[in-house]
């Protein structure tokens, strides 16, 4: 039976949720005004969950230092507990309070923060971040987001916020507030609406815990930009999962994907790229008719969600060049197409 403290915590969260719940049981999507951000910070302090935009995708936030809040986040997403979370902080000084930030990390942080770069660093022994959030590892994934709503929420909350993508585990990441509501309904009491996310792909994750840096997850900062500072980056090392985005099956729509498609089968939708798309699809959405990989990245998850709702049996995906942001796009597509 729960003790008085846990019951009090549950009552506070329930009260906060009642204050922010939409009418007729609808999820509350609210423009990210200063008042809404202040309410979101209060919900986080009381152990609740809040969805909010970052420059990459929408995140589902919880107090990084509260075991119960982190456990609630894992349960809401259906996320396996061995898959660690990213701790979002307001600046480099705040990162020093939860991680050991060496000289190379300082260099990357000064170049790419705030922004869509996550660094996996040694965890400080006195880090306040819940061990559940880091899957019990001696490392911690840290990011300073650039989106003004995320930054305002971090400032109002006053501590680190763990925030994986605001979708059910393994499904397509959300790039609008409506995507979050589609996945969670009223399970999340407050969704801060900051409009479509500008990058549309999660952050690039770089592991700095070993002798040589390694990309654990390609993302919104392309490999080439990082290699200007780090030299050639190797493949991820073996061992336990050290950051989000390393599961073999992830980012998956309900419909199966057929990659590298140069034609369209009966009952397929088409996720196209560039000019000259094949005919015959029941529905076609083009990531970028001009072949612009930045535009393609920003449309990827929204287009996958839209085609997943079409009356089709599968989604054919045209080839995407494996350069620049194409590496991250293809990473997401391969994981989305993997056996489940």
Q: Which CATH superfamily is domain 12-230 in?
A: DHBP synthase (3.90.870.10)
Percentage of the residues of the chain whose pLDDT score is greater than 70: 87
Average pLDDT over residues 154-166: 98
pTM, 2 dp: 0.88
Q: Residue 53 is inside which H or E element, if any?
A: strand 50-53
Q: Would you state the pLDDT for residue 25?
A: 55
What is the dotted CATH code of the domain comprising 257-337? 3.40.50.11030
Q: Would you state the pLDDT for residue 6?
A: 32
Q: Would you state the pLDDT for residue 13?
A: 38
| Residues 193-222: tens digit of each pLDDT | 999 999 999 999 999 998 889 999 999 999
Q: Compute the distance between CA of residue 102 and CA of residue 179 in angstroms, rounded to an integer.
A: 37
| Residues 308-324: tens digit of each pLDDT | 999 999 999 999 999 99
Per-domain residue ranges for the chain? 12-230, 257-337
Residue 44: CB atoms within 10 A of its CB come to 26
Q: Would you state the pLDDT for residue 7?
A: 33
Average pLDDT over residues 269-278: 95
Q: Compute the distance between CA of residue 64 and CA of residue 285 in angstroms, rounded to an integer.
A: 38
| Residues 2-27: tens digit of each pLDDT | 333 333 233 333 434 444 445 455 66
């Amino acid at each position: 039976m729960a003790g008085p403290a846990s019951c009090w915590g549950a009552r506070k969260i329930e009260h906060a949720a009642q204050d922010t719940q939409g009418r007729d049981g609808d999820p509350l999507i609210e423009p990210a005004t200063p008042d809404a951000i202040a309410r979101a910070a209060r919900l986080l302090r009381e152990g609740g969950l809040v969805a909010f935009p970052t420059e990459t995708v929408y995140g589902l936030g919880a107090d990084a230092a509260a075991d119960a809040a982190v456990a609630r986040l894992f349960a809401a997403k259906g996320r396996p507990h061995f898959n660690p979370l990213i701790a979002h902080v307001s600046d480099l000084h705040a990162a020093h309070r939860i991680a050991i930030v060496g000289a190379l990390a300082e260099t990357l942080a000064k170049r790419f923060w705030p922004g869509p770069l996550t660094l996996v660093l040694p965890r400080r022994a006195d880090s306040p971040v819940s061990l559940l959030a880091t899957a019990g590892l001696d490392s911690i994934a840290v990011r300073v987001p650039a989106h003004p709503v995320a930054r305002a929420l971090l400032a109002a909350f006053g501590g680190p916020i763990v925030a994986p993508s605001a979708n059910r585990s393994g499904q397509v990441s959300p790039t609008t507030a409506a995507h979050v509501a589609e996945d969670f309904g009223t399970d999340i009491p407050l969704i801060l609406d900051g409009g479509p996310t500008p990058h549309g792909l999660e952050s690039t994750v770089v592991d700095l815990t070993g002798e040589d840096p390694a990309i654990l997850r390609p993302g919104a900062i392309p490999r080439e930009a990082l290699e200007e500072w780090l030299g050639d980056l190797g493949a991820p090392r073996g061992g336990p999962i050290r950051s989000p985005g390393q599961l073999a099956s992830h980012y998956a729509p309900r419909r199966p994907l057929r990659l590298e498609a140069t034609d369209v089968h009966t009952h397929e939708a088409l996720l196209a790229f560039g000019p000259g798309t094949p005919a015959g699809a029941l529905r076609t959405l083009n990531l970028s008719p001009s072949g612009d990989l930045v535009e393609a990245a920003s449309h990827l998850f929204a287009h996958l969600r839209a085609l997943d709702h079409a009356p089709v049996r599968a989604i054919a995906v045209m080839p995407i060049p494996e350069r620049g942001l194409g590496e991250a796009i293809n990473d997401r597509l391969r994981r989305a197409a993997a056996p489940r």
